[in-house]
Structures are given as structure tokens and as C-alpha cells.
A and B are shown apart, each in its own frame.
Chain A
Amino acid sequence: MWRRRLTCLFGGEEKRVDSRTIHAGRGSSPVADAFPQQKFCDNRIVSSKYTIWNFLPKNLFEQFRRIANFYFLIIFLVQVIVDTPTSPVTSGLPLFFVITVTAIKQGYEDWLRHKADNEVNKYPVTVLEDGKRVGKESEKIKVGDVVEVLEDETFPCDLVLLQSSRDDDTCFVTTASLDGESNHKTHYTVPDTVKDVESLHATIECEQPQPDLYKFVGRMHIRRDGQETAVRSLGPENLLLKGATLKNTKKIYGVAVYTGMETKMALNYQGKSQKRSVVEKSINAFLIVYLCLLVSKAFVCTTLKYVWQNQHGQDEPWYNPKTQQERDTNLYLKMFTDFLSFMVLFNFIIPVSMYVTVEMQKFLGSFFITWDKDFFDPEVQEGALVNTSDLNEELGQVEYIFTDKTGTLTENNMEFIECCIDGFQYKNHKFLTETDGLCETDGPITITLNKAPEELEELFLRALCLCHTVQVKESQPVDEIDGVVLDQVDGFSPSPEDQCAFIASSPDEVALVKGAMTHGFTFIGSDSKSMKIRNRDNRVEVYELLHVLNFDPVRRRMSVIVKSESGEVLLFCKGADSSIFPRVRKEEVDRIRVHVERDAKEGYRTLCVAYKRLGNEDFARVDAELREARLSLHDREEKLMAVYNQVETDMILIGATAVEDRLQDRAAETMEALQGAGMKVWVLTGDKMETAKSTCYACRLFQRGTELLELTVGALGEGEGKREERLLELLLEYHKRVVHDTPPSKTGLHRTWSSPGQDYGLIVDGATLSLLLNASPDGTGSHYKNLFLKICQSCTSVLCCRMAPLQKAQIVRMVKSSKGSPITLSVGDGANDVSMILEAHVGIGIKGKEGRQAVRNSDYAIPKLKHLKKLLLVHGHLYYVRIAHLVQYFFYKNLCFILPQFLYQFYCGYSQLPLYDAAYLTMYNICFTSMPILAYSLFEQHISIDTLLDHAALYREVAKNAMLRWGPFFYWTMLGVFHGLLFFFGVYCVFSNPALLPSGQVFGNWTFGTIVFTILVFTVTIKLALDTRHWTWINHFVIWGSLAFYILFSFFWGGITWPFLEQQRLYFVFINMLSSMSAWLAIMLLIVLSLLPDVLLVALRRPRGRNTRQVLPRSPLCFPSIPHQVFQIPPVSHLHAHISSFLHASFLCISFLCPLSLFNSAVAG
């Protein structure tokens, strides 16, 4: 927020202009032109929020902007201003604590940011000024400065590359710190600026800063003395981004275009929108209930107070006169302050500490994900990454999983399998073998009967060698280790023959180039203008690279235009079959299509290769169009796209390739487990239907018996006009089949598992989807959507192929906003998955090969798909149970804390006398009862980790926010009410005769409160102990420690007359209470009686357990012997284990009864 404001401040006046003009080498070019001198911000990075001066006010302001803090502040102020029952300290201290801790944390973080900022801002750089090299601090760089950067240095701002020390006018950079892609990327100098950077007179026109790292549009006007101004287009390949590092290049010069907060990197760190978890929504709902409870309690008390005071003699009895000030106060004002006083008295029902505990639980709890060694992947050398801890529990609530295919379900480790040239199949061998084009022969029969014409074969291989953007790694000595590491990181391996390694953004391309290599054509290398290949005769062919028509996911193809040594201009195009077939001559298609379809069915990724000869005039025209499109400042993308589409027509299909992408390790097992857990898995992929379908079968998302429903272009048939009608027909038919025919069962979750009926799988493709979603804007559109959604939800799995990234997000949004708003999870590894990762409730990034974009935008990142199983089934489940219990318990314990205080008002003349001493009021939530629940919420495993992993269906037990729905909330509230009533009226009955000491002396009101409080602390703690199913030493320590601490504190607090206290209310109250046998007996009786319903419930829960047992024969929830033990008991100590477990069994009972036995011995004595 603030930073954006800062950006506005610096760049405010240029908002109206949508491009900026920069004079390169400012100092030397006072050229008067039409452009007004624009102001740009300096190169200072400000990521810090505070300065030393504004820290206190600003931080306080920000903290109190949070509603909860504000609420507590108000309560505190009311306590200060109005004469309230509790001292302001009781709420001021916790609030002060929370605010201070937060302020310290934020201050520290900000200090770190200041340090990091300074490090960046004070970094020494070299700038050319008037032809001289001047050393500067990085923050002093102005837009238009020419900056020198040396190898392995980080670019200090966004630069347009002017000059490189390399011969081919390129430089290499890694953008690891920006998007995590560690491969080297090539950037190009602006043509014609190479020679004379010092005396450069140039103006750069470029768009205003925008966060997209991969987009840059600009134009450079180069003036030379006596020459006409030359105009060169600038693209992302000319732009060096701040944060990237220069590699393999000694030195470059560049002109600063975006500086400081306007660099793409800074713009990219604006932060993403906050995701909120269901639990938080539940908390808010509960909060409202409790707030209503609080207000109504205060209201009831106020009303009754005035009713009561109206009775004769009750308002102001002679023994208790009002002060003068009280008498003078206006009645209504008095009522109002009374109301506020009651609010303050009961405000502990919504405790500050709950927020602190929830925050701590989330923050600390998320460490268990990062620490989990099962998430460690030796290949990536990393474990899981938690980007937000707000969503831990959401992992246990997932209903829909949207997964990407490539790199997520599959490894994205491409291997060239075979190719097909002109209808003849070539398996991947050192020598060419060709088998019958149609019948597949796995045997060794290789009859060389049919073979594609030699020249066609070579053309195909040349196409493979030329049509790509692969780089050959510098021929510097590649030592073994380097090669190995690179192999792991980038997925290419140094070829054994000539020690060269390929670097590419897409592993497909490497696979293809390698595939061509095995067939005799080797790509040697390229510079910006030419490509070299070595052909079968070991002769090097050089092609002039004229244009690269880059790949994009919409076109789904890429092309290069090259000029061969013979002067022939060729266009090679490769792309998905669907994007190639319509653009080639019809007759060739059929022969190839058979292969493509078969390969796709095998699960291979297929690409078609086509070429086209361009005549000289043709090329001249294309060349001109491309240049023009590239130079345009506005809508460059669209214009380029139009030219590309126009060029890539009338091509000749040569062949197709098949590349295998193996399934990820344990992908099928993971998917099966997730489905078993009641989650629906949807595959959203850009790949073609056949490939995706076979992957789905391989992953067991579709089973043998699954009936597939297709909503694809193929199923709809040809003919634009009829498509919609046909679509509706299909929708209705499927709907009838899927929704109506299956036996009605309320919850969709259970149907897929329990009913033996037909499983359905749905396949939909991008085209149909856009038809569905963008169908006629009238009412039918939403009708289509509803039908579609219903079908989807009744299917076990859905496959969406041919998806554009945005469509993926659209699907996620559609499901997310459907009825019941199910929790969605997206998992993907590539940049094309970012949109759906951001859209879903939980976004998971796979640390795959396609860069770090997905990981950066995800909420959680895991190295491999298989880790998803543990992440959801174990961590998600446990976190959900923990936090749900935490929330319910917190509300419960504060309800039974405050209810006696409320009831006491009826017996103290509605005078707002607190039942408990101020120390107890303050410490209850902070010290006495906070640690056990925190420990519980961090360590509880109500079911052991292994059992959770083995029985995926256990996940369903907590599905649909099961523990935080109104039912459980009502149960907990009733429990709180029951306990509160019991505590108060139990002690009330005991106090009908306050002479409880054996000396005949009597107890006063503070003893009354202390007895209630003691029962309360013990009951809520033991209640938690009863709920704890996993007692580590920490739980033991914290639970028994809390109780011990309470007793010690009470001794201490009541043992001394504290000089700072105005009233020694609790002096010796606790100790005297302990000397009364009746108090002991009352405390024990009430604790036991309060916990009786819980224990009873445990005993009665058995029948339910029996049902579950039939499904899950070994669920520990209901079956006594856990097959999977948390740690192994060596067989020798078996007997010992039995004895100790028996001892433990009696422990719980003893924990109840030990006070009793104490009592017995006391009686005996």
C-alpha cells in the first residue's frame, strides 16, 4: 500500500502519459525535443515500512486498524474512563503484551529490510558520465544513465542492453532471484549501438513500468552525426532486469530505463491477495455469536439492575451510600456506563489470547511442514516450503483438487521416443529402423521395406535441429561435477560425444534436439544471427536465422525462418497437431494423424513438424510485416500474433515426433489415496486429449470400468451453428445419465466411495469449455453452466484438456463459487498454472523444472506430487483437527470462565463485582490455561501419522468443516454453559453456610471466587487432558505444569501482602481455602461431575466406532489396538510395554482420584 503510494508520489505526474521517453547518456544530449522532460523516481529501493521517527505512531496506527485490537483498545479505554469493576490492567496488560510483541517483531523485520535495502542501495556501481567512468552508489542511478555491469554482478536497475563484451552481441543472465529459473538466458544488444556507447545519442521510448517480467515494448531512436535517426525496436530480449545476474559475459553497458521502485522486480513484490481459511470464517461466525452473548448478558444485567434498584430500599441502603458524584450523574448516562461496565466485566469471553494462540499455532505449526523429512527430495535438494501459514488447516478440508499434468502428474523429463516421417515410423535407435507405419511391432523384425524419401527424412531432421530456441552451453571446459549438477537442475545432460549441453526453457525442445542427434543431425550452436548443424556426413551446415516466431500457449506452435547456405528461405514450424493440421495441406494430414493419435494414446507428447518455402517476395513482405509489428509500441502482441498466424499457413507437413513424459514417482498411488480421501481430482492440462486421457488412466484417475463422457469438439461434431444445440443435447443426456440414474445419496462425497454403481469420468476440452462458459449471455448460459457443474460434480474425475492458463483459473473459480462453496486446491509446477494456483483456496507449487513461478505464487510448495498425499492426509488433517479443537476449546473455556461471573451478578445486587480477583482474571487466559491448549494444538495426533497415511478415508471424517459446524459449536457451548452453571451453583450451595472452616470461621466473597476459579482451572485443563490422544512429554509437562503453576501462583499471590495493591483481597484466601475439608470435597465433586458427561460420551461413542470399524478395520479411533505404532517397541520389552500401558490406563483415573486419596489420608490422620 504504502509503497504504491510512494511510487505514485515519484511518478505521479507521468500517469497521464502511457509511454516514457528516456535520453540515453543524459549528460551529453541536451536535445530539445517535443517531449517534456519527464521525472522518474531514483534508484532507491524502499521495502521498509517505517523510519525511526514514524515507527511508533505508524505501527500503533496499523495495529489498531485491526478490528480485534481496536475492540480491546476500546474495552481498555472504557475501563480507564468509566468506573468499571476490573482495573484497566486486566485488559491493558494482555493488550500491551500483544501490541509490544507485534511491534517488536515488525520492528525487527523492518530493521532487516532497512539493512537489505541499504545493502542494495549503497552497492557501488559504475556509471558513464560524459564519456568517463564514474563510481556511484546504486541508489544514485538516474533513468537514462549508462551503467556498466561486470560478470556475476547483479543488475542495479532495469537496463536496456547497449553493448556486450561478447562478440556476438549477446549476454547471458540468470534470473534465479526473480523467478528461480537457474538456466542462462540470452539477451541481445540493441543493433547498431555497439560501437560507441560513450558518444551515444539516443532516445528510448518505452512503455510505463509494468510488473510482467516477460513483457517489454520499446523503441530506440539513435542519432548519429550526419545520419538519419535510426529506429530500433526493443523487446524483452533487450531488457536486463534488476535482480538478475550477469553470467558468462565479462562486461556489459546498458541504459537505465526503470529504476528503484519502478523496476519490474519491485513491482512484482507488491504482494498477493490474502487468502482466508474456512476456520477463520468459522471463528468470525462464532465470534459474532459470542459478541451477541456478551451484549445480551450486559443488557440483561443492566435491565435487571434497574428493576431491582426500584424496589424499596435496595438502591441505596444506609450501609452503602452512593458518592456525591454518583448521585449527580444523569440516570441515562448512568445506565449507559453501567452497560459498559458489564461489557467490561464480561469481555473476557472474547479473549485477546485466542488470537495470539491461533497465530502462534499457525506460525509454529507450519514449521512441521518445512521440517518434515518425507518432503525432502534428494533430486531438488529441498524440502517443502511454506509461503503462508494461514492456510494450514485448509489442507485438511480440500474437496477438489485441480492438477496440472505436465511436470505435476508427470515428471517433465522428456525422452525422445520415436518420430514419424511422412507416415513412416522411426523408433529411437542409433541407426534408423522403420517398421510398418500402422501395425506396431515390438519385436526385432525390422524389414526395411518402406522408408521415407531420403531428402524428406533429412528435411525433417533439419527442422528438428533448427526449429527451437535451445542454447548450447558455452564450450568452456565442462568438468564432471558441473555437468552433473546442471543435469540435476536443468534436466539436460552433457552429450558424451562432444561435451556439449543444451539449455532450453522447455525440456521438450532438448529432447527433440537430442532425438535428432541420435539420427545423425547435431545442433552445434547458434548466435543471434545463425545456427550451425552438423549433418550425417559430418559436414557443418550454417543457416542464417532470420526470424523466430516464438512459442506461445495460445498459438501452441513456434516457427523459425532461416536462410540456408544455398540461399533458400525456409520456414520450419512445430506445434501441437491441432494447431498444425488446419494449417497444412489436407492430403498429408491423414497419414500422419494415425501415428499422432496412436502415440497420444500411449501417453506420449506429440508435436507435428511442418515447413514452408518462402519465395523472395514472400519473405520480403513477411520480413517487413514482422519488423513493423515488432516496432509498434501498442498492441504489439496482437499485431505480432496476426502476422504469425498469417505466415504460418499453407505449410507442408513432414512428420511428427513423440516424446515420452514419464509419470511422477507414485503418482497413481497418490491420486488413488486422494480419491479415497473423498477428494475429486480434476486434471487441467494444456495437452491434447489422448495424451491426457492416457495419463489419467495411468494415474488410475480413470479406471477400467469408468464410463467416459466426452464434451469435446470431436463429440460435438463440425458445424459452427449446430454446436451449441448439440452441446445442450449432450449436457442433458449426460445429466440424465449421471445425476438421475445414480441412486440418490445426499452427500456426493460418500457416493463415489460407497455406492458400487457406475463411475463416470468427464472429458472436456478448452474449445467446448469456452463455448459453455461464454454461451449466449441470456439465461441459457447459466443453465449450461449449472448442468455442466452438476455433471462434473457427479463424476469421479474430470479431465480438462487443451486449457489455456486462464481457463484453468476459470474452472477453479466456477467450482469454487458453486453451491456449498467447496474448498479447492490447485497444484501445478509451471507458469501456466499460476493463475489457477492463485485462484484456488490453496495453491500448491511443485518445485519442478519449469522455473519457480508456480512455487513463488503458491501457498505451499513441495518437491514432488507424491508429497501431496502426506501434506493433505496427514498435515492437513492434523492441522484441521488441532485448530478446530483449539478454537472450540477457547470459546468453551472462556464461556465457563465468565458464566459464573455473570451469575454472580444476580447475587451481588448487579453491582458488577467481579467474582474472581483481578490477578486471576488476567492470568486465566495468559498463564493458567493457555499453554496446554497451545501444546495440544501443536502436537496432537488423534490418529497416528502412519494410520492417517494408510487409511485415506479417515480424511472424510473432518470433511466439510466437520468440527467447526454449528453442531459441534453448540455442543461445546452447552458444555461451557453446563460447566459454568455447575461451578457457580455448586459452590453457591456449599456457601449456604459459609462456616466451612473446622474452626468455625467463615469464608468471604473472595474465597467463593477462588473456589470457583480453582474448579474452573482444573476442569478445563483436565477436559483438555481427556481430549488429548497423544501425550508427549511436552503435553505432560505443560498440562501438569499449568496446574502446578496455578497452585504455586495462588500460594505466592496470597502469601504476601503486596505493597502495590490497594486491597489485599486474596491475602491467605487460597491457603485458608485449602485448610477447609469442605472446600476440597466441593472442588473434587464439582470437577468430577463436570467431566462426567465427557467421559460418558467417550464411553457411549463406541457404537459409532463399531460402524466405522466395518469400513476401516484398523482405525484407532474406534479400535483399541493401533496397528501402526508411533515408535517401535522392541520385542524383548513386550511384556514391559504391556505392563506400562496398563499402568498408563490407570493413570487417567488416578489423575481424577489423587485428590481423593489425599483426602482419605487426611481423614485417617
Chain B
Amino acid sequence: VMASGYSAKEEDGHHSGALGPAGGAAVRSRKPDNTAFKQQRLPAWQPILTAGTVLPAFFIIGLLFIPIGIGLYVTSNNIRELQIDYTGTESSSPCFACSQNYSWNMTTPCVCSVSFSLDQPFESNVFMYYGLSNFYQNHRRYVKSRDDSQLNGNLNSLKEPSKECEPYRTNDGKPIAPCGAIANSLFNDTLALYYNDPNGTETQIQLVKRGIAWWTDKHVKFRNPVGDDSNLTAIFQGTAKPVNWQKPVYELDSDPENNGFINEDLIVWMRTAALPTFRKLYRIIEKNSSTSPTLPRGNYTLKITYNYPVRSFEGRKRMILSTISWMGGKNPFLGIAYITVGSICFFLGVVLLIIHHKYGSRSSSADLTH
């Protein structure tokens, strides 16, 4: 139906040349050029794919993929990972009370602590993630609801945020900074990790806040607005804090390099997750001595300042401790997939080889001619 709409020569009858005085007599009478291009005889490589040519490819793929797969699998298996769900929907959970009694305008924060133990030590740097489930950060309405130019430090956008930020664009007539639903729903549980020494003392583990966001985000994409005053508070004067926030953006952190729009927790949150179940990097536990593991085997306590409600949409919250390898976090999928594909290729290669031997001894690998 549609292709018929297009016609190359709709106006066949309108050949102006034929109507002109010179008329159709002006027919080309010259011989076509004898060029390779016009005669469709450009030199060409003409590969013929037959079992013969394809066969080595199968073996090569097989031989390459299986070791890669094994490497990946082993790497993934060597990664230590620990996940603790602290949503608190079950009555047995330590955070049950916090999750039940939650309301936005609470004055005293609700704190709950979860104890766990590590059977094996985490040797290298440990990365602490928070994970959310059934949280649609990739909902279109949500994804749109931000103003990148405001976050980039544009003063106009600071005062006049983008329309996309609705309904979190202004509050009481004052522009919200940072505006939009994403910023408004910034994850605000505070997670603290304590090591329970066998001798009974509890030592808080140092959590590094920096280096959790992409370098380019932190240094280019996100910038604090620059005013006459170097004081962030003054610059953000006249803006409102996001509705659900407890403190304004210029009080996110005491470190001026991690405050305002360049607060890394905010930046990490602003990179919307791909799937409704996701994890985001929260803190890094750096390895300080080369001799002792970062997290030795033993008992730990996770203390959560429970601010973030997920019960209303049946979401879940997790804390994840993980070491990292060259391939990132723990993910056995790639290793298994590589081994599988490699084996399939190898197997097919063998089958094809048998077929090849049985039926066609004539076709060689030099199947290509010019």
C-alpha cells in the first residue's frame, strides 16, 4: 500500500526535452564509456563461504572463547560479594520498626542495625553499594525530570529550571535546586559499617565518599554555579531545597569539593539505572595496609539511618559489599556464556569437519578467487 505511494517517474508525460524544438531527436548516440565502474567490472574480491572456509572460523572461535570464558568465570568466582537486605518488611528484621513507622516529617531519624559475619576476608578494595528493587528509575517521566543545565552550574537555569522538572520545579515560588523528580528522590539512607572485634570493641570502618562517580560527571557534567561569592550558600540563595530533602543542596557535605551539585552521592543517583533492580556505588573501603585484608573475617554491624521509604511500591533495599576485578563486579553470566558459545562452536566445528570429510574432499580452503 505504501510503496505504491512512491513512484520515481510520476510525471512521465512531462519530458520537457521532447516538447522542445530540438525534440526527441536529441538522443544520445555516443558509445558508453568502457570504464570498469560503468561496466560493473570493478576488481572485486569474491569470497565463497563454504564449509571449508567456515570450518577454521568455528575452531578459532571455539578455541578462543573457551579460555576467555574460563578466565571470566574464575575471575567472577574470585570476587567476594555479600548482600544484606535491610528493607524490614518482615517482622523479624531489625529494620521492621523503622520501615513501619516511617513518615517524611520525622524529626528524629530512625536507626537500625544489622549484624552479619564474613566467613572469608575481603582482600582488596571493597566497594559498598546500595541496591534497590522494583524501583523504576528508568520510568520515562522520571528520567526526563531533571535539568542538566542547572546541574552544570548555569545560573539562569538555577533561577528558572526547565519545564521538565515539573512537579518539582518550584516550591513556594522559589526554584528548586536541584529540580526534578530524580534529585527529589535522592537515596538518603546513611549506611555505616562497624567491625566487631572479638574483644568486644566496635570499630567504625572508614568509608571513602570520593571516587564513586564517573570522573567526567564529577568534573564536567556537574558543576556548582559560580557567583560573585565563593560561598555556596550565598549562590544558592533564593532557591528552595527539593521537597523530600532534609537539608539543602549546599549542605550535603562539609567537604567543599563534594558539596552542592558536585556531591558524588547526588551524581551517582542522577545517573538513572537501566533496570528496576539496580545497585549504585555508595562508598569505597580502601585497603590501607598490604598485609592485612581490607575486611578481615569476623562479625560486622551495619548501622542504617532509615530515611528512604520503599514499602509503598513494594521495593526492597540492600547493602552490597563487593570486591572488584578487571571485569567489574561479580557476574558469572559472561563466563558461562563464553564457555557455552565456545563449546558450541567447537562442537559444530567437529560436526562440520566430519561432514566435510565425508562429502567434500574436493573443496579446499583456497575457495576464493578473483
Contact = CB atoms under 8 A, between A and B. Distances in A.
Given A358-B6, A1127-B36, 17 more contacts: A243-B19, A287-B2, A322-B141, A907-B276, A911-B139, A913-B143, A988-B275, A998-B326, A1002-B268, A1002-B281, A1029-B46, A1031-B47, A1068-B221, A1142-B366, A1144-B368, A1153-B64, A1156-B68
B138 interface: yes
Contacts of B185: 318-320
Contact of B367 (A321, A324, A1120): A1120
B272 to A, nearest CB: 5
B31 A376 contact: yes
A271 interface: yes
Contacts of A322: 141, 167
Contact of B360 (A355, A913, A1031, A1102): A1102
Centre residue among B17, B64, B325, B327 by max chain A CB count within 10 A: B327
A436 interface: no
B9 A382 contact: no
Q: Give me the 6 closest cross-chain CB pairs, A-B, nearest first.
A: A177-B23, A271-B13, A66-B5, A319-B185, A995-B329, A1008-B274
28 contacts: A48-B16, A70-B5, A265-B19, A269-B14, A320-B139, A323-B141, A371-B33, A373-B33, A907-B276, A909-B139, A911-B136, A945-B41, A990-B331, A995-B279, A1004-B272, A1005-B137, A1029-B47, A1030-B44, A1033-B42, A1062-B164, A1063-B148, A1076-B328, A1078-B327, A1089-B337, A1116-B46, A1120-B363, A1141-B366, A1149-B57
B221 A1063 contact: no
A68 B328 contact: no
A939 B6 contact: no
Interface stretch (A115-123, A577-585, A684-692): A115-123
B312 interface: yes
Which range contains the number of A residues in contact with the other chain?
Answer: 35 or more
Interface stretch (B206-214, B254-262, B292-300): B206-214
A84 B272 CA distance: 19
A641 to B, nearest CB: 32
B46 A363 contact: no
B68 A1081 contact: yes
B352 A1127 contact: no
Contacts of A1081: 68, 72, 327, 334, 338
Nearest to A311: B314
Interface in B172-208: 181, 184-185
A1078 B335 CA distance: 10
A29 interface: no
Contact of A996 (B25, B328, B366): B328
B178 to A, nearest CB: 13
Which range contains the number of B residues in contact with the other chain?
Answer: 35 or more
Interface in A252-308: 265-266, 269-272, 274, 276, 280, 283-284, 287-288
Centre residue among A319, A909, A991 by max chain B CB count within 10 A: A319
Contact of A1148 (B25, B44, B57, B355): B57
A313 B369 contact: no
Given A67-B5, A276-B4, A319 B184 contact: yes
B43 A990 contact: no
B365 interface: yes
A69 interface: yes
Contact of A314 (B16, B211, B313): B313
Interface stretch (B48-56, B93-101, B115-123, B232-240): B48-56
A284 B328 CA distance: 48
Given A388-B8, A993-B328, A1141 B368 contact: yes
A48 B320 CA distance: 74
A1076 B327 CA distance: 7
Centre residue among A358, A1031, A1120, A1147 by max chain B CB count within 10 A: A1120
B146 interface: yes
B250 interface: no
Interface string B332-352: 011001100100110010001
Nearest to B243: A321
Contact of A1142 (B24, B148, B314, B365): B365
Contact of A284 (B3, B39, B51): B3
Nearest to A1102: B51
A449 interface: no
B45 A1095 contact: no
B142 A939 contact: no
A362 interface: yes
Given A113-B14, A284-B2, A1095-B49, A1082 B54 contact: no
Contact of A1034 (B23, B41, B42, B162): B42
A1145 B48 CA distance: 9
Centre residue among A1064, A1098, A1145 by max chain B CB count within 10 A: A1145
Contacts of B309: 318
Given A995-B329, A1031-B44, A1095-B54, A1000 B138 contact: no
A320 B322 CA distance: 30
Contacts of B325: 998
B247 interface: no
B220 interface: yes
B34 A373 contact: yes
Contacts of B72: 1081
B6 A66 contact: yes
A1164 interface: no
B216 A1067 contact: yes
Nearest to B61: A1088
Contact of A313 (B68, B139, B312, B362): B312
A376 B312 CA distance: 80
Contacts of A1144: 45, 47, 368
B2 A71 contact: yes
Interface string B124-140: 01010100000111111
B14 to A, nearest CB: 5
Given A313-B312, A319-B184, A913 B140 contact: yes
Contacts of A1116: 46, 48
Centre residue among B61, B141, B328 by max chain A CB count within 10 A: B328
A48 B15 CA distance: 10
A381 interface: yes
Contacts of B125: 1000
A329 interface: no
Given A120-B21, A1138-B366, A993 B331 contact: yes
Contact of A1099 (B43, B55, B141): B55
A995 B327 CA distance: 9
A1008 B144 CA distance: 17
B7 to A, nearest CB: 6
Contact of A359 (B6, B29, B44, B322): B6
Contacts of A312: 314
B278 interface: yes
Contacts of B6: 66, 68, 355, 358-359
A998 B24 contact: no
Contacts of B54: 1095-1096, 1098-1099
Contact of A1002 (B184, B279, B330): B279
Nearest to A1059: B149
Contacts of A998: 324-328
B281 A1001 contact: yes
A909 to B, nearest CB: 4
B11 interface: yes
Contacts of B28: 382-383
A579 B159 CA distance: 100
B27 interface: yes
A176 B24 CA distance: 7
B18 interface: yes
A1106 B367 CA distance: 15
A1146 B352 CA distance: 18
A1092 interface: yes
A1026 B252 CA distance: 55
B329 A993 contact: yes
Contacts of B44: 939, 941, 1030-1032, 1035, 1126
